[in-house]
Structure 1
Amino acid sequence: MVYRYRTRWPASRLLTASVAILIIVCAAAIGSVTVGLASLTDARTLLLDTVGPARSQVLELDNALIDQENGVRGFALTASEAFLDPYQQGRRSEQDALASARSSIGTVRPDLADDLDAIGSLAVGWRAGYAEVVISEVRAADAPRADRADAERGKELFDNVRRAVGDLQRALDDEAGKARAELDAVADQVLILVIGLGVLLVVIIAGVAVVLHRILIRPLAGLAAQVRRVSSGDFVHAVETGGPRETVMLGQDVDAMRARILNDVEELRRSNSELEQFAYVASHDLQEPLRKVASFCQLLDRRYSGQLDDRGEQYLRFAVDGAKRMQVLINDLLAFSRVGRITREHVLVDLNDTVAQVLDSYSEVVERTGATVEVAELPSVRGEASLLGGVFGNMISNALKFHGEDPPVVRVEVERTGDSWTFTISDNGIGIEPEYAERIFVIFQRLHHKDDYPGTGIGLAMCRKIIEYHGGTIWLDTGEGVGTTFKFTLPAVEDTEDSDE
C-alpha cells in the first residue's frame, strides 16, 4: 500500500498547533480574569478608599458642629470662657472634615462636593447669625443670656445645618450601598471567571489528551500491534498505519523491512530445502561408498594379512580408520543439522530418568576408568528428551574422556535462578584454558590431536545448539579451580504445568 504521507501534517506541527490553541485560549481566559480583577480592585477602592472615608469624615463634621452648638449654648448659660473651647475646637475640626471629605468624594461625586460647600455656607450663616452674636453679647454684659427668641432663631439655623449634613450622610450611605453591591457583583463575576477558567483548562487538557491519543497514541499503538503480529511470524501481513507523517513513514519503513524479511525467509526456505537434499545425499549416497571402502579394506587386511610388509598393513589400517571416522563425521553432521530443523513436540522431561539412561549407556566406561558420578536431584523441564539426553551424554562423556591420572569424578548439580534452572557439570580432569572458552563451542574446533583423544569436534557445538534451541544458554565456567566446569540454563516449568502433566 502506498501512503501519501507528504499530505499529512508532521507530529511536530500537530503538537505546535495544539499548544498554540491552548496558549491562545488560556491567554484570553487569563485576560478576562485580569479585567475582572481590575474591576474588583476599582470597586474595592471606591468602597474602602473613597466612600467609606467620606462617611467617616462627614460624621466627624457632624460631631464638630454639635461640639460648636454645645459650646455656644453652655457659654450663653454660664458666661464661662471654658465652654468656648469646644466651640473653637469644633470650628477647626469642621474645616479639617470639610477639606478631607471634599478631597475624598470630589473626583467621584462632584455633586456631593457641592453639598459640602452648602453645608459649610450654612455653618458660616449659623455662626454669623447666632453663635458669634451670642458670644459678643455675653462678653459685653459679662453675664449669662437667656433670650428665648434668639435661642429659637439659633436652633432653626443649626437645624438647617444638621439637616443638610443628614442629607449628605444618607447620600453617602446610598453610595456605599451601590459600591458594595457593585463590589459583590464584580466578585461574583471574578469567581465565575475563575471557575470558568478552571473548567476550560480541564476541557482543553482533556481535549488535547484526546487529540494526542487519536493522532499519536492510537496510530502508534496500532503500529506496535501490527509489528508484534509480524514479529510473531506473520510476515505476509502488510503493515498499514495512519496518524502524523512520522508514524506513517515509520510504518512504511517497518513494512519495507517486513518485505525484506519475507524475501530472506523465502531464501532461507530454499536454502533449507537444499540442505535437506544434501543431508539426504550425505546419509544415503555418501555412506554407501564409505562402507564399501571400509569393507574392502578390511577384506584386504584379512586376506593378505602377513603377505604385506609393515607399511602396506599400516596403509590399510589408515584407510579403514579414515573411512570409519568419515562415517562418524557424516553422522555427527547430520545430527547437528537436524537440531531445530526437524522438530518434535516438546514434552515434560524428567531429567533424573534422562541422566540415569545416559549413565547406563556409559556404565562400561565408568567401570573401566573407576569413575565416580554424583548426580543431584534434577527437575523436570519441557523439551525433547533425546536432545537433552545428548547434552548430558556429551558432557559426561567428555568428563570421562579427558581425565587426568586420578580416577574421574563427575558432579551434576542444579539450582533455581529466577525463571530458569542452572545446571553445573564439573569434573577433575585436565581442564580447559580460559582463552579457549568460546572456541570449544565452534564446530570442528579441537584442542587435542585425534590420536590423543578421539572425536569429531562437533559435540560441544551440538550441545550449544540444543540448549539454545530449548531457550537456554551454555558456557564454560573459568572461575572454578581444577578440572572443567560447564554450566547451562533451561527454562523452568511452572508448578501448575507440572501438575497438569
Structure 2
Amino acid sequence: MKLPDRLPAGRVLIGVVTILLAMTAMAIASTVLALDALGDARSRSVDQIEPAARRAKDLSRALLDQETGVRGFVLTTENSFLQPYLDGRKAEVEAADSVHALLRDVNGRVDRIEGLSRQWRDQYAEPTITGIRKSAPVQDIDRGKQLFDQLRAEVDMLQADIGELGRQAREDLDHAAKLVLWLVIGMGVLLVAVIGGLTLLLYRLLIAPLEGLAEQVRQVASGDFRHEIDAHGPRETVMLGEDVDLMRHRIVQELATLDEAKTELQRSNAELEQFAYVASHDLQEPLRKVASFCQLLQRRYGGQLDERADQYIDFAVDGAKRMQVLINDLLAFSRVGRITREQTVVDLNEVVRQLLDSYSDRIEETGARVEIAELPSVRGEASLLSAVFQNLISNALKFKGAEAPVIHVDVERDGDMWKFAVRDNGIGIEPEYADRIFVIFQRLHPKDAYPGTGIGLAMCRKIVEYHGGTIWLKTDVDSGTSFEFTLPVVPELVADVEEVHV
C-alpha cells in the first residue's frame, strides 16, 4: 500500500486509531452480548428450572401423601392417619404456587394438576372421609383410583416437561459458553491480526518513507551532493525531504563558491609565497651593498664627523643588519612546505642532542637545566623538526626569569598522535596573547629588550602543520611558559616496538 503524497501523518494515525477502536468496540460488544446470553441461560437453568423440578417432586410427594393418608384412614378409621392427607394439601398448595412462580412454560399443566387434585378430593377423598365418620358405606374405590391415576399421569408429564426444559436450558447454556469461548478466541486472533496489520500498515505508510528519506540523506551526507532528494509518504515526510533538498542545493552553491574561493586563495598564496621568495632573494644583493657601504662609512669616517653623523651611520648599519636578518627569516619561512625534501624517519632524541650541543655555551652561561624525556622517532624533515625544538628551547633560554632556567621536554601518546610539551620557568606569556604570538613578525616586547625578529613561533606553527600536527600555548599554567604540539605516530615503528616488548 502506498500512501498518497501530501496526506498528513496525523490524519493517517487518526484513521488507523479509529479503525482499531471500532473493531475493538465491535468485538467487546459481541462478547458482552454473548456473556449476557450465557448469564441468562445459566440463570434460567440454575435459578428457575432446577428449583421448579425440585418443587414438582414436592408436589408429587404431597399428592402421594394425601392418597396414602386417605387409604390409611379407610383401612383403620383412625384420625391420626389423616395427618399426611392434611399436611399434603398444605404442601401441595405451596409446591404448586412455587412451580407457577418459577416456570410460566408449565402453568397450564400445573392448573390441570390442581383441577384434577380438587376433583379427586371432591369426588372421592372428602366424601369417603365423611362417610367413614358417619359409618356410611365407602365410596367407589375404583373411581378414586381412576381419578388419582389421571392426577399421577399429569404429575409425571409435568416432571417430563420440566426435564425437557432443563435439557433445552443446558443446551442453550452449552451453546452460549461455546459462543463466548469462540468470541474470546476470535478476539485474541483479531487482536493479533489487527496489531500485525497496523504494524505493517504504519511501516508502509510512515516508517518506510522515513527510511527512504534517511537513506537519501545519508547518501548526500557521504558526499554525493548531486543526488536529488525524492521523498514520498505523508505530508510531513515530503516537506522534510523538500527542506533537505533545498539545504542540499544551498550546500552545492556554497561548495561551488568555496571551490572558486579555494582556487583563488591557492593561487593568491602561491603568488604571495613566490613574491616573498623572490622579494627576499632579490633584496639580498642591494641590501648587502647598503650594509657594506654603511660599514665602510663607519670605519673610514667614524670619529671624523660630528657626534650626530656617527649616530646616523650607526642607525643605518643597525637597520641594514636587521633588514638582512628579517629577509633571511622571511626567506626561510617562505621555503617551508614550498621547497620540500624527502621525508624520512627522524630520531628526535638525536635531533635534540645535537641541538643542545650547539647551545652548550648558552646553557652554561645561564646555568640552565634541561630535562629531556625519551623521545620517539617521527616521519618528516630533520632540519625543519630541529628548527621547532630550536625555537622553543632558545625562547626558554632567552625569556628567562630571575632564577636559572629549567626546561622540560616531555612526550606522551594521544591516539594516533604524539603530544610533545616544552615547559620552562621563565617570564611567561599572558593568555590573551595565545594566538597573536604565532603571527609572523609579532613581538610582545620592544626590539631592544630581547633580540630576534618575532618569526620563530610562526615558523614553528608552519613546520608543525606541514608535518600534520598542531601547536598551541597552554594557558592554564601557574608560572612560566608551556608549549604543546602534536606529530603523527609512525604506525610501523610502534608495531615494531610493541613486538620487541612482547
Measured against the shorter chain, the TM-score band is 0.7 to 0.9
Q: Which amino acid aligns with 2:159?
A: Q
Alignment of 1:6-405 (within 5 A): 8-106=6-104, 109=105, 112-140=106-134, 150=141, 152-308=142-298, 309-322=310-323, 324-325=325-326, 328=329, 332=333, 355-356=348-349, 359-360=352-353, 362-364=355-357, 367=360, 368-369=362-363, 370-375=368-373, 385-386=379-380, 394=388, 397-398=391-392, 401-402=395-396, 403-404=400-401, 405=403
- 1:399/1:220 CA distance change after superposition, 3 Å: farther
TM-score, scaled relative to structure 2: 0.77
Q: Which moved more, 1:201-210 or 1:248-257?
A: 201-210
Residue 102 of structure 1: how far off its partner (Å):
1.0
Residue 445 of structure 1: how far off its partner (Å):
10
Deviations 1:279-304 (A, max 9, x none): 22122233222233344323332343
SS in 2 for 1:286: helix
Residue 114 of structure 1: how far off its partner (Å):
0.6
> What's the RMSD between the two structures over aligned residues?
4.4
Deviations 1:172-225 (A, max 9, x none): 111111121122222222222222222222222222211221222112112112
C-alpha separation between the residues in 2 aligned to 1:89 and 1:314? 155
* Structure 1 unaligned blocks of 5 or more: none
8 Å CA contact 2:206–2:233 kept in 1: the answer is: yes
Residue 449 of structure 1: how far off its partner (Å):
2.5
SS in 2 for 1:307: helix
C-alpha separation between the residues in 1 aligned to 2:159 and 2:186? 40
C-alpha separation between the residues in 1 aligned to 2:145 and 2:418? 117
Q: Which amino acid aligns with 1:372?
A: V
What corresponds to 2:305 in structure 1? none
C-alpha separation between the residues in 2 aligned to 1:42 and 1:327? 112
SS in 1 for 2:259: helix
8 Å CA contact 1:51–1:175 kept in 2: the answer is: yes
8 Å CA contact 2:352–2:389 kept in 1: the answer is: no
2:449 counterpart of 1:448: no
SS in 1 for 2:421: strand
Q: Which amino acid aligns with 1:31?
A: A
Q: Which amino acid aligns with 1:398?
A: L
TM-score, scaled relative to structure 1: 0.77
Q: Which moved more, 1:8-17 or 1:452-461?
A: 452-461
8 Å CA contact 1:290–1:323 kept in 2: the answer is: no
C-alpha separation between the residues in 1 aligned to 2:243 and 2:211? 16
8 Å CA contact 1:54–1:101 kept in 2: the answer is: yes
Deviations 1:210-244 (A, max 9, x none): 12212221121121122112112221222222111
Residue 357 of structure 1: how far off its partner (Å):
5.8
Q: Which moved more, 1:178-187 or 1:86-95?
A: 86-95
Residue 92 of structure 1: how far off its partner (Å):
2.2
C-alpha separation between the residues in 1 aligned to 2:332 and 2:116? 135
* Structure 2 unaligned blocks of 5 or more: 299-309
C-alpha separation between the residues in 2 aligned to 1:421 and 1:439? 22
Deviations 1:317-344 (A, max 9, x none): 33543464366457657869x9xxx9x9
8 Å CA contact 1:443–1:458 kept in 2: the answer is: yes
- 1:301/1:87 CA distance change after superposition, 3 Å: same
Aligned length: 469
8 Å CA contact 1:64–1:93 kept in 2: the answer is: yes
What corresponds to 1:458 in structure 2? 458
